[in-house]
Chain A
Amino acid sequence: MQHQSEPLLKVKGLKKHFPIARGWRQEKAFVHAVDGIDFSIDRGETLGLVGESGCGKTTVGRLILKLIEPTDGEILFEGKNLARLDKKGIHPMRRAFQIIFQDPFASLNPRMTVGEIVGRPMEIHGLVERSERDERAFQLLEAVGLMKEHLTRYPHEFSGGQRQRIGIARALATQPRLIVADEPTSALDVSVQAQILNLMKQLQKEFGLTYLFISHNISVIRHISDRVAVMYLGKIVEMAEKNVLFESPAHPYTKALLAAVPSLDPRRKRDEVILEGDVPSPINPPSGCRFHTRCRYALPRCYEEEPFFHQVEDGRWVACHLAE
């Protein structure tokens, strides 16, 4: 991994508020899906983004790729602010960042052959002549462990794991530098998931890829990531190098999340640190620190004042009044 002084991707103050209509007379309310986050990813590394339903992690993935427009903030890709670019400005840059989706059954166009699916991104960006397209598509299929005869088949003829490989081949078609993987193995059986994770690791080495790996599955995140960011209700609460985060989590939510994962040792009794209640609504998030309503350590300051997300020690960032 080369050391670059500038990260491949740097995000500052990123926000996305989705408006929802509340009755025909009442004022608009907003879902604060992503509410001011900062992070960066270095070339060649894998940043794992983990959190539970409604934390905003999927929205972050879409924002970075400009599949949706940010409400506020900066998205610096190789130094260029994507947030400022319009559709025309962003188009040529899209070659450099791609996505792998969660649902292998919904993310492939059922009316296109595999060759067309994998070849289309190359055509859109003018990267190949029509005549070369199939040859190039075949190379991509080979890279993901599929075969030449698969080029002329349709998605419905493949299993979930194979379809996910096709999705990966498509993501590689434009030789991107960054790939956002949004729950790429959540819909797959354990043994198939293992194949896909191994493949992704191998491709990362082969092609020098950088991954933003989004998942709610903590074991998978631990396996694949170099660094991990934990999200809760639209905010990043903690971010650190993987082993540091898993061995000594600082934020109470991170601790609760890790404690909630069932151990694979039937003899090990669970430590009764179980998080009570449900996640509050992102339409009306709690005041101060959003986690205070479920936090066993909450102080009065936590109700009133939102903690800053800042570096508490080398490489570790936390947003918590108690972590100072």
Chain B
Amino acid sequence: MGTLLSVKNLRTQFYSAGRTVKALDGVSFDIEEGSAFGLVGETGCGKSVTALSILRLIPYPPGKIVEGEIRFSGRNLLDLSEEEMRSVRGKEISMIFQEPMTSLNPVFRIGDQIIEVITLHQKLDRSQAFEKTIEMLERVHIPEARRVAKQFPHQLSGGMRQRVMIAMELSCHPHLLIADEPTTALDVTIQAQILRLIKEMRREFHTSILLITHDLGVIAELCDWVAVMYAGSIVEQASVEEIFENPRHPYTQGLWGAIPLMDREKDTLAVIPGTVPDLSQPPEGCKFNPRCAYRFDPCDRAIPPLFQPSPEHLVSCYLYGGGKNHE
């Protein structure tokens, strides 16, 4: 199993009214072939911007990828022309979004939208593309696929639309599927169906997954490896078992403590004091330090490098090395 995607030191910024917002401030991670990688964090941490940066969908102006490398299939995606990127999107890397209503074109029939994606990337004529479309709709368990293909997005429920999105994005058998909050807008029983579908599709198509979400339950269901983001940086990365059993970074611990768990009673939920920093004026050193109960000398001087307190576990925190108690 090799590395499918390697993101190195990605920096993406947005410019507005004289301020520069450092949305991504040196993000690095690898996704292995055949794995499911989860990117978790709260609003504004940069997880969606990471996905959009990988697909080079950051609008310029006001945004810009200012540094970094995104290695995929032996190439740096940041070096490709827009035309070359167009043949990557939808074919080698696909993306499904949170609101299926806004990503499906409301004035075109479902079938036509999928046919368009297929004919764009594959050398099939229209009737072949139509049969492939029906096949994909059936593979995502949409009942009466031929009838649904003639319908418009507004005639389908949220769960059905998300199935259509998955069918469309997998139709060209991409190596990597990016899913940005794919079930957040859905009811929990529909979410369960969609998660099961994503797992099934992953097995059938051997597609790797980059899952972006704030929902830890979804992460636990789907992912092998997890990275926690805060204020534009990855603060912790580990296998999914490690990150749930042994969260190391104070922010991760705070986040886990704030969740009302289904299987454990807590009277009061743990609270992280303070608020997320303004990314146009981030604090010096570790961006979490102003809110951190364990803050000490080195924390406000420089961003901590990644330490490895155990196999399968990386943390960007001086508590795990490089501080006054270490060499």
Q: Which one, B188, B196, B214, B272, contacts A52 given CB within 8 A? A: B188
Cβ contacts B227-267/A at 8 Å (1 or 0 each): 00000000000001100100000000011011111110010
Determine whether the beta carbon of A267 is less than 8 Å from that of B241.
yes
Segment among B93-101, B109-117, B217-225 that sits at the interface with chain A: B217-225
Are A191's CB and B42's CB within 8 A?
A: yes
Please determine whether A278 and B160 come into contact, CB atoms closer than 8 angstroms.
yes
* Residue in A191, A223, A256 whose beta carbon sits within 8 Å of that of B271 in the complex: A191
A195 CB contacts on chain B under 8 angstroms: 269, 271
Most chain A CB atoms below 10 A, which of B160, B216, B220, B244: B220
Q: How many B residues have CB within 8 A of the partner chain?
A: 42
Could you name 14 residue pairs across A and B whose Cβ atoms are closer than 8 Å? Answer: A53-B158, A190-B255, A190-B259, A195-B269, A197-B269, A224-B260, A261-B217, A264-B259, A264-B262, A265-B220, A265-B244, A266-B240, A274-B193, A276-B193
How distant is the Cα of A201 from the Cα of B259 in the complex, in angstroms? 15
| Residues 103-144 of A contacting B (Cβ, < 8 Å) | none
Contact of A223 among B42, B157, B214, B260 (CB under 8 A): B260
On whether the beta carbons of A260 and B261 are closer than 8 Å, the reply is no
**Would B275 and A159 count as touching, CB distance under 8 A?**
yes
Q: Could you list which residues of chain A lie within 8 angstroms of chain B, going by C-beta atoms?
A: 52-53, 159, 189-191, 193-195, 197-198, 201, 216, 218-220, 222-224, 256-257, 259-267, 270, 274-276, 278-279
Interface pair B241/A261, CB less than 8 Å apart: no
1/0 per residue, CB under 8 A from A, across B181-202: the answer is 0000001111111011000000
Question: In whole angstroms, what is the CA distance A271 to B158 when docked?
Answer: 24
Q: Is there a chain A Cβ closer than 8 Å to B43's Cβ?
A: yes
Q: Which residue of A lies closest to B256 (CB)?
A: A264
Which residues of the partner chain A approach B217 to less than 8 Å between Cβ atoms?
261-264
Residue of A nearest to B220 (CB): A266
Residues of B within 8 A of A189 (CB): 42-43, 214
B160 (CB) vs chain A CBs: closest residue? A278
- CB neighbours of A216 from chain B (8 A): 187-188
Distance in angstroms between the alpha carbons of A260 and B261 in the assembled complex = 14
Q: Is the CB of A263 within 8 A of B270?
A: no
Q: Are B260 and A197 in contact (CB under 8 A)?
A: yes
Q: Known interface pairs A266-B220, A270-B221. Does A260 touch B268 (Cβ–Cβ under 8 Å)?
A: no
Least CB distance from A285 to B in Å reads 16
Q: How far is the CB of A165 from chain B (nearest CB, A)?
A: 13
Contact of B244 with A257 in the complex, beta carbons under 8 Å: no
Q: In the bound complex, what is the Cα–Cα distance between A165 and B100 (angstroms)?
A: 32
CA A274 – CA B193 in complex, angstroms? 7
A191-B42, A191-B255, A266-B241 are contacts. A260–B220 as well, Cβ < 8 Å? no
